[in-house]
Amino acid sequence: MLSLGLVVLSAALATHASWSQLALPRTYPNISQCVDLPVQYSCENTTAFASSCCNVVQGGLVLQTQFWSTYTGLEREGQLLPAGSWTIHGLWPDNCDGSYDQYCDLSRQYDPSPDPSKLPDGTPVPPYKGPGVQTFIEEFGRVDLLGYMNTFWINQGAPNEDFWAHEFSKHATCTSTFDTACYGSDYKEHMEVVNFYETVTKVFQMYPTYNMFAASGVLPSNKTTYSLTQLQSALRSQTGATPYVGCSGNGTVLDEVWYFHHVLGTEQYGHFKTLHSTTNSTCNESGIWYYERTPTSERPVSY
Ligand SMILES: *[C@@H]1O[C@H](CO)[C@@H](O)[C@H](O)[C@H]1NC(C)=O
Ligand SMILES: *[C@@H]1O[C@H](CO)[C@@H](O)[C@H](O)[C@H]1NC(C)=O
Ligand SMILES: *[C@@H]1O[C@H](CO)[C@@H](O)[C@H](O)[C@H]1NC(C)=O
Ligand SMILES: *[C@@H]1O[C@H](CO)[C@@H](O)[C@H](O)[C@H]1NC(C)=O
Ligand SMILES: *[C@@H]1O[C@H](CO)[C@@H](O)[C@H](O)[C@H]1NC(C)=O
Ligand SMILES: *[C@@H]1O[C@H](CO)[C@@H](O)[C@H](O)[C@H]1NC(C)=O
């Protein structure tokens, strides 16, 4: 993985003259207007917010969501799960009351299979047919980010980049600090898409779910089950808050964890305060399977 990454990187360096300066195009927003404003956590005192670029005004209850799945369905094409790690689902903006908006800017609709295909007010969300979001990341030279995403942000039954596009267009377009207006007058198209993906990987790394569980003795097993309390307590002991723990199979198969936050400053660089879940678990009280993966669906990864 690492050596492949280096080969790709040096190939890219050799073909892009501008890279000789070793500085990649910027993807950060322009928040110079924010430096003297009061800081406050999202959802807590929104009267203090003077700018939606400086604070998460829309979608201030922020969820970092992760998946546990045992296969990808595209193993034969090399789409494998990272051994010893959960995978990224996304970074979602909920309104402070638990409701949420979606597909908030159809001019940035990159999702090839919108879900839902119609908004609650009846507006259709047209399927996207242009170049995949992978090309946006490549335009900014971020082969490192792409490598990370292809390792830890894995789709089931369809290519990874379709999933990344879905997460951006459905969710990030409803987070105020990723509005294109926050990137200044020399904004370049797709800058905020790359910036969102960087942000997702940063917040994901705050929560090494596999290792938090494993270190508490909760390991994937096809022989023993766990209780909901065991799962919640293991994670709460490291985060101080009870995350949402999700199950499929009528409450019997662990497959998701969501970590809740209020954010101080921007979602990109601000501080995330971990909070209790506002959503009840869908798992049974006991008898929960945390399945071992199919060995041929995994590959070793470095962190
Ligand atoms: C950022 O925006 C400020 C105005 O708010 C402007 O003066 C400054 O030049 C901008 N910086 C960049 C790097 O675009
Ligand atoms: C909310 O923010 C405003 C503006 O900064 C401030 O005047 C007010 O005291 C704050 N309220 C609380 C409860 O912190
Ligand atoms: C869930 O329960 C319903 C009703 O008991 C049953 O019909 C269904 O097959 C179950 N699904 C799974 C995945 O176990
Ligand atoms: C969550 O569960 C508690 C306790 O069973 C219940 O009182 C509450 O109404 C539930 N909340 C939701 C949103 O379903
Ligand atoms: C899950 O919990 C429900 C409600 O307590 C129960 O009816 C169901 O049988 C449980 N499922 C299994 C497979 O234990
Ligand atoms: C464990 O069980 C799951 C669910 O049935 C299955 O997909 C997986 O291949 C099994 N893993 C091992 C190592 O047997």
Look at residue 58 in the predicted model and tell me its pLDDT: 81
Name which residue sits closest to atom 1 of ligand 5, judged by CA. Answer: 284
- Pocket flag, ligand 3, residue 249 (CB < 6 Å): yes
pTM, two decimal places: 0.91
Domain boundaries, the chain: 42-299
**CA gap 171, 103 in Å, rounded:** 7
Look at residue 49 in the predicted model and tell me its pLDDT: 79
Ligand 2 centre to CA of 55 (Å) is 15
Look at residue 267 in the predicted model and tell me its pLDDT: 97
Ligand 4 centre to CA of 98 (Å) is 13
Sequence-distant (≥ 6) Cβ neighbours of residue 54 within 8 angstroms:
31, 33, 34, 37, 177, 265, 266
How many other β-carbons are positioned within 10 Å of the β-carbon of residue 142? 20
Whether residue 167 lies in the annotated active site: yes
Name which residue sits closest to atom 5 of ligand 5, judged by CA. Answer: 284
CB–CB of 123/105 below 8 Å? no
Look at residue 72 in the predicted model and tell me its pLDDT: 97
Whether residue 271 lies in the annotated active site: no
Whether residue 77 lies in the annotated active site: no
Give the closest residue to 177 by CA, choosing from 44, 42, 25: 42
Which of 167, 198, 256, 298 is labelled catalytic? 167
pLDDT (tens place) for every residue of the chain, 303 residues total:
444 444 444 555 555 555 455 789 999 999 999 999 988 999 998 787 788 999 999 889 999 999 999 999 999 999 999 999 999 999 999 999 889 999 999 999 999 999 999 999 999 999 999 999 999 999 999 999 999 999 999 999 999 999 999 999 999 999 999 999 999 999 999 999 999 999 999 999 999 999 999 999 999 999 999 999 999 999 999 999 999 999 999 999 999 999 999 999 999 999 999 999 999 999 999 999 999 999 999 999 987
Probe residue for ligand 5, chosen from 284, 285, 288, 289 as the CB with the greatest number of ligand atoms within 8 Å:
284
User: Which CATH code fits 42-299?
Assistant: 3.90.730.10
Which of 171, 190, 261, 262 is labelled catalytic? 171
Look at residue 7 in the predicted model and tell me its pLDDT: 45
